[in-house]
Structure 1
Amino acid sequence: MSETTPSRSEIQLQTELWLREGIAAVKAGERQRARDLLLRVVEHDEENVSAWLWLSAVVETPEDQETCLANVLTLDPDNQAAARGIAVVRKKLVDDYVHRVAAAVESGHREQARELLDRVLEWDENSVEAWMLLSRVAETSDERESCLQRVLALDPGNEAARQALDAIRRRREALQAEEPAGEPAAGPAIQQAPASPVRLHPAAPLYAGEEAEERFSLSLSDDGLNDEYQCPYCAAPTEPRDRRCRSCGGKLWTETPRLDKMSSALWVAIGVQAVNMLVTHLGLVLFSLANVVLVIKAQTLVLDFQKFLNGEFVNPIESLIKFEDPIGLIPFYLGFPHELSPETAEMVLEIMPRGVFLMLCLPFLLSFAVLILLFTRWKAVYYVFMATAVIDVVFGVAGYVVAPLSAWIPVPVRVASLLLGGIKLFLAFQIEDDFFADEKRVLLSVDRRLPGSAHLYWGGRYAGQQMWALAALHLRQATLKLPDQIEGYVGLMLAYIKLGRPNLAAGVLEAIKRADPDNPKIAELTALMERTRMAGAGSWG
Structure 2
Amino acid sequence: MDLQDKLRQGILAAKTGEKKKAYQLLLDVVKADENQILAWLWLSSVVDDLDEKELCLENALALEPDNEAAQKGILWVRNQRLKASLAQQPSIEPPKPLAPPPKIIIPEKPLQDEFENEWLCPYCTTLTSPEDKICPHCHRQLLIRQRLSPERSVWLWRGIFLQIYTAFYTAAFGVGYFSFICAFYALPAFYHFWPLYFGQTVNYPASVTDQVLEFFPVWMFWTIVAIAFYSLNLMLILFLRVPYGHLMYLLNSGMMLLIGIFGMIFSPSRWIMFGGFLGVLLGLLQLLITNNLWKDFTFEESRLRLHLDQDATNAPSLYLSARKYARLGMWGNAIIHLRRAVAKSAGNLDYHLALVVAYLNTQRIDQAQQALEEVEALHPNAPQIKKLEVKLQQAVESKQ
Question: Would you call these one fold, judging by a TM-score over 0.5?
Answer: yes
Contact 2:259/2:279 (CA < 8 Å) preserved in 1? Answer: yes
Relative to structure 1, the CA distance from residue 423 to residue 326 in structure 2 (aligned partners, 3 Å threshold; closer, same or farther) is same
Corresponding residue for 1:211?
Answer: 102
After the TM superposition, list the runs of 4 or more consecutive aligned residues in structure 1 that deviate by more than 6 angstroms: 105-108, 193-196, 198-202, 219-222, 344-353
Contact 1:399/1:409 (CA < 8 Å) preserved in 2? Answer: no
Q: Distance in 2 between matches of 1:119 and 1:392?
A: 71
Q: Distance in 2 between matches of 1:132 and 1:507?
A: 27
1:391 aligns with 2:391: no
Kindly, what percent of the aligned residue pairs are identical?
20
Relative to structure 1, the CA distance from residue 132 to residue 240 in structure 2 (aligned partners, 3 Å threshold; closer, same or farther) is closer
Q: Distance in 2 between matches of 1:238 and 1:522?
A: 33
Corresponding residue for 1:115?
Answer: 11
Q: Distance in 2 between matches of 1:262 and 1:355?
A: 37
Relative to structure 1, the CA distance from residue 233 to residue 209 in structure 2 (aligned partners, 3 Å threshold; closer, same or farther) is farther
Relative to structure 1, the CA distance from residue 400 to residue 484 in structure 2 (aligned partners, 3 Å threshold; closer, same or farther) is same
Corresponding residue for 2:125?
Answer: 235
Relative to structure 1, the CA distance from residue 530 to residue 107 in structure 2 (aligned partners, 3 Å threshold; closer, same or farther) is closer
Structural mapping, 1:344-493, within 5 Å? 357-372=221-236, 374-377=238-241, 380-401=244-265, 403=266, 407=269, 410-436=272-298, 438-446=300-308, 451-493=314-356
Relative to structure 1, the CA distance from residue 482 to residue 358 in structure 2 (aligned partners, 3 Å threshold; closer, same or farther) is same
Structure 2 counterpart of 1:521, from 378, 384, 396: 384
Equivalent position amino acid for 2:386 in 1? A
Superposed displacement of residue 377, structure 1: 4.9
Contact 2:7/2:377 (CA < 8 Å) preserved in 1? Answer: no
Corresponding residue for 1:321?
Answer: 186
Q: Distance in 2 between matches of 1:509 and 1:259?
A: 43
Superposed displacement of residue 529, structure 1: 2.5
Q: Distance in 1 between matches of 2:304 and 2:209?
A: 65
Superposed displacement of residue 531, structure 1: 3.7
The runs of 5 or more residues in structure 1 that have no matched partner are 1-104, 122-129, 141-192, 203-207, 298-316
Superposed displacement of residue 489, structure 1: 2.4
Corresponding residue for 2:171?
Answer: 282
Q: Distance in 1 between matches of 2:194 and 2:131?
A: 57
Relative to structure 1, the CA distance from residue 257 to residue 135 in structure 2 (aligned partners, 3 Å threshold; closer, same or farther) is same
Relative to structure 1, the CA distance from residue 243 to residue 383 in structure 2 (aligned partners, 3 Å threshold; closer, same or farther) is farther
Q: Distance in 1 between matches of 2:209 and 2:139?
A: 63
Q: Distance in 1 between matches of 2:175 and 2:304?
A: 54
Equivalent position amino acid for 2:187 in 1? K
Q: Distance in 2 between matches of 1:519 and 1:287?
A: 76
Q: Distance in 2 between matches of 1:425 and 1:119?
A: 63
Equivalent position amino acid for 2:119 in 1? Y
Q: Distance in 1 between matches of 2:219 and 2:137?
A: 56
Relative to structure 1, the CA distance from residue 515 to residue 132 in structure 2 (aligned partners, 3 Å threshold; closer, same or farther) is closer
| CA offsets 1:51-71 (integer angstroms, 9 cap, x no match) | xxxxxxxxxxxxxxxxxxxxx
Superposed displacement of residue 454, structure 1: 4.3
Superposed displacement of residue 441, structure 1: 1.8
Q: Secondary structure at the match of 1:440?
A: strand
Equivalent position amino acid for 2:261 in 1? V
Contact 1:497/1:505 (CA < 8 Å) preserved in 2? Answer: yes
Contact 2:355/2:371 (CA < 8 Å) preserved in 1? Answer: yes
Contact 1:276/1:417 (CA < 8 Å) preserved in 2? Answer: no
Q: Distance in 1 between matches of 2:49 and 2:3?
A: 30
Superposed displacement of residue 418, structure 1: 1.0
Structure 1 counterpart of 2:395, from 510, 525, 532: 532
Q: Secondary structure at the match of 1:233?
A: coil
| CA offsets 1:411-455 (integer angstroms, 9 cap, x no match) | 332222111221121122234444555543222355899544443
Superposed displacement of residue 475, structure 1: 2.1
Give me the CA root mean square deviation.
4.7
Contact 1:255/1:440 (CA < 8 Å) preserved in 2? Answer: yes
Superposed displacement of residue 331, structure 1: 5.3
Structural mapping, 1:178-193, within 5 Å? none
Please, what TM-score do these two structures have when normalized by structure 1?
0.50
Equivalent position amino acid for 2:326 in 1? A
Equivalent position amino acid for 2:378 in 1? A
Q: Distance in 1 between matches of 2:292 and 2:352?
A: 48
Q: Distance in 2 between matches of 1:352 and 1:381?
A: 34
Relative to structure 1, the CA distance from residue 270 to residue 513 in structure 2 (aligned partners, 3 Å threshold; closer, same or farther) is same
Q: Secondary structure at the match of 2:16?
A: helix
Q: Distance in 2 between matches of 1:342 and 1:246?
A: 81
